Structures are given as structure tokens and as C-alpha cells.
Amino acid sequence: MKTTFRQLLSTAALVVFSALSIPASGANASPNILLLVADDLGYSDIGAFGSEIATPHIDSLVSQGRMITDFYSAPSCSPTRAMLLTGNDQHLAGLGLMAEVRKRRFPGNVPVLPGYEGVLRHQVVTLAQLLNDAGYKTILSGKWHLGKSEDLQPQNQGFEQSWTVQEGGSANFKQDEMGLFPNYPATFLHNGEPLELPEDFNATEYYTDKLIASTEEARNEGRPFFALAAYTAPHWPLQAPDRYLEMYRGKYDEGYQAIADARIGRMRELGLLPEDFPERAVLDESPAWETLSAAEQQRSAREMEVYAAMVTQLDTEIGRLVEHLKRTGQYEDTFIMFMSDNGPESKDYDRRVGDWIAENFDNSLDNLGRKNSFVTYPKAWAQVSAQPFRGYKQTIQEGGIRVPAIIHYPAKLAPGGPNEVFMSVRDVMPTLLELASVNPPGIEYQGRSVYPVQGRSRWSALHDASVQDQEAGVLGWEVDGSAALRKGPLKLVYTVKEADTGWQLYDLAQDPGERNNLAEERPAELSRLLTEWQHYAQVNNIALNDDLTPALPLIETTSKAGTGQ
């Protein structure tokens, strides 16, 4: 029997609504909120998390705030953004499929099940809407990727001011071809109106300029701000100004294995990994560096140089934004959170769209990373970024969904060491609402039925490490037929790539790299987590096959969404 929208509302309300009656917990009534979101940044790509890449400004947020080492996103960008802004699983919010993936997998506008539309649904309320209702000046600068129709654009989803690219990204310089694929535009809008880019456009600098101007407007108006800095760095195409490219010339000539091993060593020194964690990083399906020709090594190293340059530029611009807050007296009472939207990208789009690239871009070695080049992030280097985990973007392994996260709030949060609270991107909305003393909407908002917020405020556990999480959270993922569920240290995994293996079981406390499948050794725990997964899928209207693996979300092929029957 198919679960109805009203049944889902009632079930979800019983489960989560009582947990979201939120006292202010001592936080200022209306602090400023700055949410910094990197695009496709890996877990170990920040200096404080073990990287060789220079990120002094982000590292400063860590040293003066807290890093969150057990923070989860969705496997890809727009699903994470939907969860971030609604506090709900991506399938309830409408992003069970990304719009681009839906178009590729099911061409011809084939009807899909509710929740897989690829755009934000009308049955959710955004964080921006609630904060704007409470008097906040709400600002978005950067990537939107949640729907291009006018009703779904950010100015109609709670943002007073928005400077956005509507699609999944763009080139980082102004050039003839700005899109990510052939026949895939990059549409820039300001509050819904076409935006003319300056000739010297650089995406990371431009989005920072708009954030600075808008937060200054909020100060002049005497209003708190909520600013979503949705940067497109370091998403491909990888490009950065020359001064950043020059910083990394020759820095990666020793190859990906050596760099990955060095990151593991630093993470052990920082206490982010146990001392007995293996010294040699595992890089799946990557040829040994020494087997590459000299030309292949040179080009591969150059691609990583560009990626590192892009990350350092992002760090510099975040530093410029934070310095503005200090200079204008807004810094102390601004809650800052930094996160990545998913793990590092790994697909070699150069081969998929090779003719288009050859016709439109200059990918000579000297021009890589500069204007009119088109560089993606190779799989081997993506696994370096994801260390110490397995997988990368668009997978349900830890490397695709466990991301770096940092919180910083001088007025209320004393600096501290790594915080291991189990937290996901859908917990961000209720946490920020608690800080702002704003209640979630329940099951109705402005006369329409909506899903109640599933996420839980994590503020108490974030600002006080002695607070123990009395409720073991359960979190699930589904992407393109693969699925996972985590409860406590145990993680249930099914991947299309390893379908013959069936359901897998990992103990992340002992095996964060997901190398030792315990399914045969611990069948009772596997069975228990499968029951949890079936329930999670039912609550979130995820289509399942009889064996509880994800089903095709097509209306004409299934009527079993979330039932497993």
C-alpha cells in the first residue's frame, strides 16, 4: 500500500514534533547567522583536517571554534541543499533525484514518484522563509540548484536578496562557454532578474562581494542577517587566478599516493585518527603513480595544483568576509558554520564530453586552470581528498557523505577540540532555529500542509561536549539505486556497483574506511538494521524492491514506495 502525504505528515509529526519545542538555551535572541558551504570539498582538504593545502582562515575558525568530525551530507549537491534548507530527508524535499540525473536516467519527462521530482517541493518550508518571518534579512549568494521555475527561485523561497547561478555550477571566469555540459546553461539571476556579469568576473570573489554588501545593508537597517554563502568552489571546472595557481607549482609532483599517505600521517598527529590507523592510504582503482608516463604524471599533478589553488582562493575569500564582520562590529554576535555539500567529485567528464571540450576550451598544459580551460577532478586525487574514507561524491560510502564541518560563535561558544556529535545536514535548520529563538512550523505553514522538520537541534551537544546524546540517531541515504543507513557506530550499505555482495555491514568505530564487511559475522545486527532501513524508507517515501534495495522511482513500474512488499 502506498503511503499518502497525510499519513506521512502524521507519522513524522508524532516522531519529531515534540523534540522541536525549543527553548532559547541561553543564545542571543537574534544572532547573525553565516552559513558557508563549499562545493565538492573533501573531508581532508582543509589544513585543520590534515591537508597540505593552505587554508589559514578556515583553520582559524577551527582554532577559535569547534570542528565537527562526524557530520554528514547527502551524496550530492542539490539533495544536500534541500536537506539544509528544509530540515528533511532529500526524498521528502523533492530531491530523491537530481534534476540532471532524472533527465539522463528517465528522458522524455517520464513520470516519477513524489519526492523524486528533482526540484524543491511545495510541501516543505525553507529556513530562509522562517527566519525572514522572524525579521531576519535573508541573503543568498552563489549556487541555488533547487528549481528554475519562478515559484522555486530563491526570491520566492524566503531570500530577500539573492545573487545566484540557478544550475549546478558554472565556469569561474567570464567566458563564452559558462556551463558544465553541452547545452547546459549557466543562468545568473539577481532576485529573479537576469544578471550581467562583469568582465573581470571570478565566481568566488563575486559571491563574496555580494555577501559583504548585503550584510552591510543589514547592519545599516538594524536587522540580524541570515547569509547563505553557497560557493561554487571547488566544483569543476577547476579554475583559479594565476596568483593561486603559482602557489602550487610542483607541489604535487610526488603523486597521489605520497600526498594521501602524508595526509593520513597528519590526521594521526592531530588526533583525528587513532595512532594505529594504517599509514598507507588506500586508493581504489587508481594506477600506481610510477606506472604513469612522465607526461601523464605532469598533467595529473597540474590538475591537483589547480584544485588546491581553488581551495586556497575560497579560504582567502572567506577570510575577507570574516574580516569585514570584524571591522564592522558584527563578528562577535555572528554564528558561523562551515561545511561541504558532499564529498569530492571524481568523474572524468573530459572523456564524456570530449568533443565539446576540444571545440570550446584550451586545455593545453600551460592553460589548465585559467580562463577558457575545462578541468575536472580525477578519481585518484578525489580519493586523496576523501581520506581516510572510501568513496567520493555520488556514493553512499563515507567519502561521499562525511564532510568537514566547523562552528564558530565568539559570543557563546568557547574554543574546543574536535566534537564527535553525530550530526547531519538536516539538523542544521533546527539548530539555527533554536539559536534564533524561532519555532518550526509543525504540519502547516501559511495555510498549506507541510512536512514537519525531521532534524534535531544539536546546539546543546555542540556547545557543551559533556552533553551526551541520549537518543541514538538513525540516518539513511539513497542515491541512484545505492543505499545506506547508520545507527550508532554501525552502518548498513548496499551499492549497485557491488550488488553481488548484497547488503554489507560496517562498524565505523573500528573501521571508518569501510574495509571489513561484517554481514556474515553479525547477521542479527544486519537484520536489525535492515528493519530500521525499511522503516526509514517508509517514513521518507523511498521506493524499495522486495529485497529492500532501492527500486526505480517510476510511477508505472512500482506502487510499493517505502513498503518493501
Supply the residues annotated as catalytic.
77, 145
Structural contact between residues 407 and 335, judged by C-beta atoms closer than 8 angstroms = yes
Name which of 85, 145, 73 is nearest 397 in CA terms.
73
Structural contact between residues 18 and 545, judged by C-beta atoms closer than 8 angstroms = no
Residues in the chain: 565
- 10 Å Cβ neighbour count for 415? 11
Q: How far is CA 449 from CA 8, 60, 536, in A?
A: 11, 43, 21
| Torsion angle of C-alpha atoms 304, 305, 310, 314, degrees rounded to 10 | 100
> Residue 383: left if φ>0, alpha if ψ -120 to 50, beta else—which one?
alpha
* Contacts with 161 (C-beta within 8 Å, 6 or more apart), sequence order: 137, 138, 139, 140, 191, 210, 214, 217
Q: How many Å apart are CA 314 and CA 45, to the nearest integer?
A: 12
Q: How far is CA 301 from CA 171, 255, 258, 313, 377, in A?
A: 21, 7, 12, 18, 11
Map grid coordinates 524561532 to a residue.
Answer: 438
Beta strands in 76-179 (DSSP E): 137-143, 161-165
Structural contact between residues 127 and 147, judged by C-beta atoms closer than 8 angstroms = no
DSSP for 229-285, written as a single string: EE--TTSSSP---HHHHHHTTTTTTT-HHHHHHHHHHHHHHTTSS-TTS-SSPP-TT
